[in-house]
Amino acid sequence: MTTDTMEVKSKEYSITYQPTAAIVTCKGSLSLNGTLEYEPMLNLLLQAADQQMQQLTLDLRELTFLNSSGINTFTKFVIQVRKRQNLQLSILGYEEISWQVKLLRNLQRLMPTLEIRMVAQTG
Amino acid sequence: MKILGNFISEIPTQTEYLQIGFSPSSIPLKQRWQTNGLSADFISEYLDVFFVGQQVVQGEKFTISSEINDAVKYVANELLENAMKFSAPDSEIPTRISFFLLDQQVIFHVVNAVTLDSADNLEVLIHAVLDSDPHELYLAKMEANAEESNGHSGLGFLSMICDYSARLGWKFESPPDSPFIIVTTMVCLDIT
């Protein structure tokens, strides 16, 4: 397993996978145009899930915006991970950011074993 | 003319509004796409400033919650994306997006010209949304999209309804001597 950090980024966003910490961090604003433009990000997420056999955390706290194609990318990822019964996926969001709360709840509907961790933004 | 869903034909004239217009063919889609976030941010900021102004004028305590701001930004961005993706590139009819501020709600109003095929596809999608439980359809679409690798997600309208309690309506018009259909999409959000 490679231990090098992998990243998909642009001026507006970054998706960073740190293998040793088993964490993918998403930052910035994601409003790409359709499935094709989201493919590199989905591939990075799936690669992380392939490498991590037991636990993977997805940190969305610093993600400021997500369009419907982005929602579609995360739902695809969660449905793929659902098939891998040994991998525990956790997703981290801020409890004050309503769209993050809604997204994480929707993802948990698709994958009841998903651990959602809503933390306070301040304090 | 055909009307589907929750469509308000007469928007009160004494309202504050913003309008953004563009020609579908004037600059490449990839370039124009970058303006979506800017326009959505602007609309959301405008809502804030307008209501802070109202509060001062009326001496009322009223602030826009971050949830409403998220909803306005999300809906504005989705409507701009749809208008850019689906407006007929050969049409000379400009695409217009208007944002109306009423007392208790905001209304988005998008007018664009689409091809007959696009209009047919949109109508099928609208009927699917209107004739089903949107929450069930939302999850069913997510599951179906996971099996397909390409195409449009079809989640935009459903997320507006399910995640932001938006009310949607559409008007389809066939202008004489035009190969295009004029579609008006309306999205209403309560802000109290």
- Size (chain A), residues: 123
**B123-145 pLDDT per residue, tens:** 999 999 999 999 999 999 999 99
CA dihedral B37, B41, B44, B50 (to 10 degrees): -140
In this predicted structure, the answer to whether residue B183 has a pLDDT above a threshold of 90 is yes
Instruction: Answer for the pair B188, B109: CB distance below 8 angstroms, yes or no.
Output: no
CA nearest A8: which of A50, A51, A37, A35? A37
- Complex ipTM value: 0.93
Token pair recorded at residue B145: 């999209």
Domains of chain A in start order, with CATH, are: 6-119 (3.30.750.24)
Tell me how crowded residue B179 is: count the other CB atoms within 10 A of its CB: 12
Residue A75 with chain B: CB contacts under 8 Å? 142, 145-146
List of chain B residues whose C-beta atoms are within 8 Å of the C-beta of residue A102: 163
Q: Which amino acid is present at B180?
A: F
Q: SS3 letters for chain A?
A: CCCCCEEEECCCEEEEEEHHHCEEEEEEEECCCHHHHHHHHHHHHHHHHHHCCCEEEEECCCEEEECHHHHHHHHHHHHHHHCCCCCEEEEEEECCCHHHHHHHHHHHHHCCCCEEEEECCCC
- Mean pLDDT on A89-112: 96
Given a cut of 80, whether residue B89 has pLDDT beyond it is yes
Using the predicted structure, report yes or no on whether residue B175 has a pLDDT greater than 80.
yes
CB distance A71–B85 less than 8 Å?
Answer: no
Question: CA of A17 to nearest chain B CA: how many angstroms apart?
Answer: 22
A75/B77 touch (CB, cutoff 8 Å), yes or no: no
pLDDT band at residue B148 using 50, 70 and 90 as cut-offs: confident
CA distance A70 to A78: 13
Q: Which residues pair with B99 in a beta bridge?
A: B18, B108
User: Across residues B9-31, what is the average pLDDT?
Assistant: 82
Give, in order, the Cα–Cα distances in Å from B77 to each of A53, B9, B103. Answer: 37, 23, 23
Chain segment A35-67, per-residue pLDDT in tens: 999 999 999 999 999 999 899 999 999 999 999
Nearest CA in chain B to A31: B37
CA distance A25 to chain B (A): 21
Q: Which of A36, A75, A77, A96 to mutate to test the interface with B (most CBs of B within 10 A)?
A: A75
CA-CA-CA-CA dihedral for A53, A35, B152, A101, to nearest 10: 50
Residue B104, SS3? Answer: coil
B163 at interface of A, judged by CB pairs closer than 8 A = yes
Q: Would an 8 Å CB–CB cutoff place B112 in contact with chain A?
A: no
Considering A82-86, B51-55, B84-88, B160-164, the range whose residues carry the highest mean pLDDT is: B160-164
CATH assignment of B2-7+16-190, among 3.90.79.10, 3.40.190.10, 3.40.50.1100, 3.30.565.10: 3.30.565.10
Percent of chain B whose pLDDT exceeds 90: 53
Q: Which of B73, B90, B84, B83 is nearest to B111 (CA)?
A: B83
Pair of tokens at residue B36: 């979506």
- Mean pLDDT of chain A, nearest integer: 95
Give the length of chain B: 192
- Tell me what pLDDT residue B56 has: 59
Residues from chain B contacting residue A99 (CB–CB below 8 Å): 70, 74, 163
Tell me B94's DSSP state: P
Mean pLDDT within A72-77: 97
Please name the member of A76, A102, A106 whose beta carbon is closest to the beta carbon of B146: A76
Residue A2, phi then psi, degrees to nearest 5:
-70, 145
Predicted pLDDT at B16: 82
Give yes or no for residue B46 having a pLDDT over 90.
Answer: no
Q: Given pLDDT bands bounded at 50, 70 and 90, which one contains residue A111?
A: very high
Confirm or reject contact between B59 and chain A (CB < 8 A). no
Reply yes or no on whether the pLDDT at A1 is more than 80: no
The model's pTM is 0.93
